[in-house]
A and B are shown apart, each in its own frame.
Chain A
Amino acid sequence: AQKITQTQPGMFVQEKEAVTLDCTYDTSDQSYGLFWYKQPSSGEMIFLIYQGSYDEQNATEGRYSLNFQKARKSANLVISASQLGDSAMYFCAMREDNQGGKLIFGQGTELSVKP
């Protein structure tokens, strides 16, 4: 079974608009961490945002926020005021602490920002 599911292979958004990238996860652990990474066409992996399972507040980093709904096991990434440079692959990942810190990634969502 997939541990991390990203159901949107590709998304389009108009420049300056907000976009939500979906991520659901599957774990029986109580302690885990959720991450989002960006991978532009250059191939580098860029860390965006982190949410711990015990964090009560949704994480925010600049234009990025993480909509964490623990009961639904979802950790959607919201990008506000999209920019052309946001066009990239976006990966959701989960670290399960009872698995020793193993980090598992979803299949990714390709975001294209239109001018």
Chain B
Amino acid sequence: GAGVSQSPSNKVTEKGKDVELRCDPISGHTALYWYRQSLGQGLEFLIYFQGNSAPDKSGLPSDRFSAERTGGSVSTLTIQRTQQEDSAVYLCASRPQGPDTEAFFGQGTRLTVV
């Protein structure tokens, strides 16, 4: 596909369960970002991968959140022991190499914790 693909598009889970959210970036893009967006709010930075560098995890809200990026391509965001406050849209974006390149966003995964 030509764009950033996220799956699933919607996820309903019970409190306390673990969830995995997947992001397939645009082929060749070296940078990958995860954001969380609560209803009517801005984009909260979670984590950033750039090539083979160590990821910038400074935005992860707790140790229940983790992410990995395998082979410089697909990324998975994992939330363990989900809480109701984790309910939000999780957005992934990728960006090609270069200083003046924009980030391309996926459609997001809407997570609802019940």
Contacts and interface: CB of A to CB of B under 8 A. Distances in A.
Which residue, of B48, B93, B100, B102, has the highest number of chain A Cβ atoms within 10 A? B102
Interface of A: 31, 33, 35, 37, 43-45, 47, 50, 52, 91, 93, 97, 99-108
B108 A43 contact: yes
Interface of B: 31, 33, 35, 41-43, 45, 48, 50, 53, 56, 58, 89, 91, 93, 95, 99-100, 102-105, 107-108
A102 B102 contact: no
Contacts of B31: 101
B105 A45 contact: yes
Contacts of B91: 45
Contact of B100 (A37, A50, A91, A100): A50
B70 to A, nearest CB: 20
A100 B105 contact: no
11 contacts: A35-B102, A35-B103, A44-B105, A47-B102, A93-B43, A99-B56, A100-B56, A103-B103, A105-B42, A105-B43, A107-B42
